[in-house]
């Protein structure tokens, strides 16, 4: 058998699933509308108009029957190992369908998910988990149930769950093709096709929802494919542990964030809410489509790293995957600070903190933050040294250099962390990093590299020493990583600001001096409001046609009326002296609201002071 029939069959099957989903989705949508199976707007849901359910039925019918009708070239491989997955998928689909029709209690849904996961595990080869059966069997069940629920929680905004499922399925398709598992690849391409066909009607504005029957089914199938893919041989056990976490990173991150935040605020995890990653992006000013596309991009980035693991060496994959993982963790922490709960909800929960909230937020937050920073720097120093070796030896490490790296690491980590601590690096607050803080960080990183290089060369001189280029590269890389980590929130904030929707409160700042710049920074950092600053006005000719943090100076205050009308300004913030009250009078004449810088600072500080949880520094 050559590879050409497989490629043709995969392409044809994916297109067929896509077409079937496009035909079936509007049909089941009409059926749902006729029988009254419609999701109505609620306070804890995102949609604004009644929307039919049953989209999961179209997804199920577009992929399961097609997979059972396997073409002859692939039928030569028995479908026995997929029996448990298909049976479990049918059970989980039925469970979700019942939940869509009549709400099931959370414990009943969890029991059904565990039973379906056990069906998959029971269908695996008897020697699959030897000699670690006592550990691997429950972990496998936990993995399937966890990912199934992660996709269920991810179905919180138009097109999000279906799009992420399609990206994950395409990633697993590429991975399975490279591993020679054409049956698993076929199922993956069918899932991607079915999701693509459904997405035509589910992308914003959605005309139909998949419901639990669809989200549970997709999560179950994708997690099960990962488990089945590793059953073909013990050599793939490492990929079973590493690739899935990368592929499913976004659903796992969303579920983790929601679980922690709801636990801290005494909200049931099973209860719906507007506290997911997608909702936080919208709260920062993105429209729904942009928020979903940003999450698509994050998921696709992890998919590329997972695919890279099939072709690159282990150290390189570890480095790239770890850096990407840290980036997404920072992304999650940044979004976790966005205030989602209303003031009344916050005040109600504030008086009754949960046990987890007391454990996490109790005590001195400063020391918890410093410990977290030190743990992060530990990881960055390790990755920096690994990157130095990979760059020095062009991505390929001989065994003796791997052993040398392992021997060096304890010395380098201990010396560099001690230097960072002794020079006061951990006293800085990331959110307000300035030139002096960055200078201190640079000095500490440089001295740490010098001390560690001297110490290592003395200790390992008898063993031939360490290549000097490694120390230079290590210094540059670690310096870059430490600075990037501390400036990460600034990078994220600036990146998301460029994607903000156009219907935000449009603000004009009069005064392009220090006060105006401070107003702009506070608006950019606000976790309770999303602004769009259209520009500055200032009398100084030297500032005309210039920009502050990318926001242009549009002219002198004399152009106030012209600028307000042209830019659609809704609020003017006065950040300079208003001699004779001319600017205030002009704003009243135009009919646009005006607030002084002092009033803006006061209102913003009060709003930020009432945020529902402690913001990371």
| Tens digits of residue pLDDT in 21-59 | 999 999 999 998 888 888 776 655 666 678 888 899 999
Mean predicted confidence (pLDDT) in 606-610: 59
pLDDT at 616 > cutoff 50: no
Please give the Cα distance from 336 to 275 (Å, whole number).
9
| Tens digits of residue pLDDT in 364-392 | 444 467 788 898 999 999 999 989 988 88
Q: What is the band of 500 on the pLDDT scale with cuts at 50, 70, 90? A: confident
Mean predicted confidence (pLDDT) in 233-238: 41
Residue limits of CATH 3.40.50.720 in the chain: 503-609
pLDDT at 57: 95
Across 15-19, 137-141, 205-209, 427-431, the highest mean pLDDT is recorded for: 15-19
Q: What is the band of 346 on the pLDDT scale with cuts at 50, 70, 90? A: low
Please give the Cα distance from 511 to 578 (Å, whole number).
10
Please give the Cα distance from 278 to 573 (Å, whole number).
30
pLDDT at 463: 57
What is residue 583's DSSP assignment? H
* Omega cis (within 30) before 560: no
Helix (H, G, I), strand (E, B) or coil at 505: strand
Higher-scoring residue by pLDDT: 115, 301: 115
pLDDT at 565 > cutoff 50: yes
When mean pLDDT is compared across 239-243, 298-302, 568-572, the lowest value belongs to: 239-243
| Tens digits of residue pLDDT in 138-167 | 888 998 999 999 898 888 888 999 999 999
pLDDT at 129: 59
pLDDT at 265: 66
Handedness of CA 368, 373, 374, 376 (dihedral sign): positive
Q: What is the band of 361 on the pLDDT scale with cuts at 50, 70, 90? A: very low
| Tens digits of residue pLDDT in 333-344 | 888 777 666 555
Mean predicted confidence (pLDDT) in 66-90: 74
pLDDT at 60 > cutoff 80: yes
Q: Please say whether the beta carbons of 536 and 510 come within 8 A.
A: yes
Q: String of b and e for 410-436 (b: at least 16 CB within 10 Å)?
A: eebbebbbebbeebebbebebeebeee
pLDDT at 242: 57
CB atoms inside a 10 Å sphere around CB 7: 13
Phi, psi of 548 (to 5 degrees): -120, 115
| Tens digits of residue pLDDT in 395-409 | 777 777 788 888 889
In CATH, which superfamily holds the domain spanning 503-609? NAD(P)-binding Rossmann-like Domain (3.40.50.720)
pLDDT at 194: 96
pLDDT at 292 > cutoff 80: yes
% of residues, the chain, pLDDT over 70: 81
State if pTM tops 0.75. yes
When mean pLDDT is compared across 456-470, 483-497, 550-564, the lowest value belongs to: 456-470
Mean predicted confidence (pLDDT) in 131-144: 79
pLDDT at 362: 41
| Tens digits of residue pLDDT in 404-440 | 888 889 999 999 999 999 998 988 878 777 788 899 9
pLDDT at 182: 84
Helix (H, G, I), strand (E, B) or coil at 507: strand
Q: Radius of gyration of the chain from Cα atoms?
A: 28
pLDDT at 610: 47
pLDDT at 240 > cutoff 80: no
Please give the Cα distance from 361 to 261 (Å, whole number).
12
Mean per-residue pLDDT of the chain = 81
* Residue where the block lists tokens 């709801």: 262
């Amino acid at each position: 058998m050559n590879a050409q029939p497989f490629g043709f069959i995969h392409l044809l099957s994916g297109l067929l699933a896509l077409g079937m989903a496009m035909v079936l989705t509007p049909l089941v949508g009409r059926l749902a509308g006729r029988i009254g199976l419609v999701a109505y707007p609620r306070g804890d849901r995102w949609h604004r108009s009644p929307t039919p359910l049953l989209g999961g039925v179209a997804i199920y019918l577009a992929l399961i029957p097609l997979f059972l009708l396997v073409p002859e070239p692939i039928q030569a491989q028995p479908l026995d190992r997929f029996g448990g997955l298909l049976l479990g998928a049918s059970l989980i689909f039925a469970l979700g369908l019942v939940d869509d029709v009549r709400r099931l209690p959370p414990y009943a849904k969890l029991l059904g998910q565990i039973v379906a996961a056990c069906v998959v595990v029971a269908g695996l080869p008897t020697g699959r988990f030897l000699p670690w059966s006592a550990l691997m069997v429950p972990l496998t069940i936990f993995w399937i149930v966890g990912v199934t629920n992660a996709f269920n929680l991810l179905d919180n905004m138009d097109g999000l769950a279906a799009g992420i499922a399609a990206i994950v399925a395409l990633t697993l398709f590429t991975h399975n093709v490279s591993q020679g598992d054409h049956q698993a690849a076929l199922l993956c391409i069918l899932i991607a096709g079915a999701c693509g066909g459904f997405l035509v009607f589910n992308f914003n504005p959605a005309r139909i929802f998949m419901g639990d029957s669809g989200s549970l089914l997709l999560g179950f199938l994708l997690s099960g494919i990962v488990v089945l893919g590793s059953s073909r041989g013990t050599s793939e056990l490492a990929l079973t542990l590493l690739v899935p976490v990368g592929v499913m990173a976004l659903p796992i991150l969303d579920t983790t964030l929601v679980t922690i935040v709801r636990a801290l605020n005494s909200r049931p995890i099973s209860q719906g809410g507007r506290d997911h990653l997608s909702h936080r992006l919208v709260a920062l000013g993105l429209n729904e489509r942009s928020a979903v596309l940003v999450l698509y991009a994050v998921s696709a980035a992890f998919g590329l790293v997972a695919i890279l693991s099939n072709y690159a060496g282990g150290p390189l994959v570890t480095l790239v995957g770890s850096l990407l993982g840290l980036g997404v963790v920072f992304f999650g922490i940044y979004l976790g600070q966005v205030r989602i709960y209303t003031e009344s909800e916050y005040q109600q929960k504030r008086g009754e903190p949960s046990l987890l909230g007391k454990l996490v937020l109790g005590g001195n937050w400063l020391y918890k933050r410093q410990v977290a920073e030190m743990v992060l720097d530990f990881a960055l120093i390790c990755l920096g040294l690994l990157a130095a070796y990979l760059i020095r030896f062009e991505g390929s490490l001989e065994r003796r250099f791997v052993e040398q790296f392992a021997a060096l690491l304890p010395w380098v980590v201990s010396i560099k962390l001690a230097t960072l601590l002794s020079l006061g690096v951990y006293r800085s607050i990331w959110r307000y990093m300035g030139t002096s803080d960055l200078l201190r960080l640079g000095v500490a990183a440089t001295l740490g590299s010098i001390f560690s290089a001297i110490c290592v060369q003395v200790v390992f001189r008898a063993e031939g020493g360490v290549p000097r280029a490694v120390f230079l590269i290590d210094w540059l890389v670690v310096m870059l990583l430490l600075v990037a980590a501390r400036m990460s929130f600034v990078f994220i904030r600036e990146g998301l600001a460029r994607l903000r929707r156009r219907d935000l409160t449009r603000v004009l700042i009069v005064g392009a001096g220090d006060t105006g710049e401070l107003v702009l920074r506070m608006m950019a950092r606000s976790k309770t409001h999303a602004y769009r600053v259209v520009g500055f006005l200032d009398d100084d000719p030297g500032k005309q046609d210039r920009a502050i943090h990318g926001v242009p100076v549009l002219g002198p205050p004399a152009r106030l009326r012209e600028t307000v009308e042209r830019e659609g300004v809704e609020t003017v913030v006065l950040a300079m002296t208003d001699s004779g009250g001319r600017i205030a009078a002009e704003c009243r004449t135009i009919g646009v609201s005006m607030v002084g810088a002092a009033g803006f600072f006061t209102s913003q500080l009060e709003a930020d002071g009432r945020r529902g949880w402690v913001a990371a520094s």
